[in-house]
């Protein structure tokens, strides 16, 4: 199957909004939200934020987001693969791996030596994807999430 991977910039506002909605629908969120155009355009213009989309005949079939994080122990950056999804009817065609490889290519171009992503231990599809794209599962790591009250 033919598809292409593109990195979005500030001009990719509509595709970015479509991807954000898809991510939430794929996660089963009942009332998906999208940030304002100004907020999203600003985010897309940041050098440290990356949105990759997978397109087939100019239709969105998947995407990934990544954040470059400045480290403090060494003068390096790491990439955090924040979110990735492929439309169900296109899964199993190498699109997820291509999106991860696209982020890995950005890392290589920007001298970033490490990229990481988290998932639940029960998400076998994600674990298989990350492994097939060359990721190494790290044992004995547990993530904690804090909800901040205001």
Tell me how far apart the alpha carbons of residues 42 and 15 are, in angstroms, rounded to a whole number: 15
pLDDT tens track, the chain, 150 positions? 999 999 999 999 999 999 999 999 999 999 999 999 999 999 999 999 999 999 999 999 999 999 999 999 999 999 999 999 999 999 999 999 999 999 999 999 999 999 999 998 899 999 999 999 999 999 888 889 999 999
Look-up of token digits 């949105």: 51
What domains lie within the chain, and their CATH numbers?
4-132 (3.40.630.30)
DSSP string of the chain? ---EEEE--GGGHHHHHHHHHHHHHHTT-SS-----HHHHHHHHH-TTEEEEEEEETTEEEEEEEEEEEE-SSSS-EEEEEEEEEE-GGGTTSSHHHHHHHHHHHHHHHTT---EE----TT-HHHHHHHHHTT--PPTT------PPP-
């Amino acid at each position: 199957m033919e598809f292409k991977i593109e990195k979005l910039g500030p001009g990719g506002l509509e595709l970015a909004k479509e991807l954000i909605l898809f991510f939430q629908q794929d996660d089963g969120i009942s009332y998906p939200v999208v940030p304002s155009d100004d907020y999203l355009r600003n985010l897309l213009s940041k050098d440290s934020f990356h949105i990759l989309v997978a397109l087939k005949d100019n239709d969105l079939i998947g995407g990934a987001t990544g954040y470059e994080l400045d480290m403090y122990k060494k003068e390096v950056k790491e990439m955090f693969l924040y979110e990735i999804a492929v439309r169900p009817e296109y899964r199993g065609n190498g699109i997820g791996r291509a999106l991860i490889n696209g982020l890995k290519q950005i890392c290589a171009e920007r001298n970033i030596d490490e990229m990481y992503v988290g998932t639940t231990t029960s998400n076998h599809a994600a674990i298989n994807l990350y492994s097939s794209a060359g990721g190494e599962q790290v044992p004995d790591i547990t993530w904690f999430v804090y909800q901040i009250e205001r």
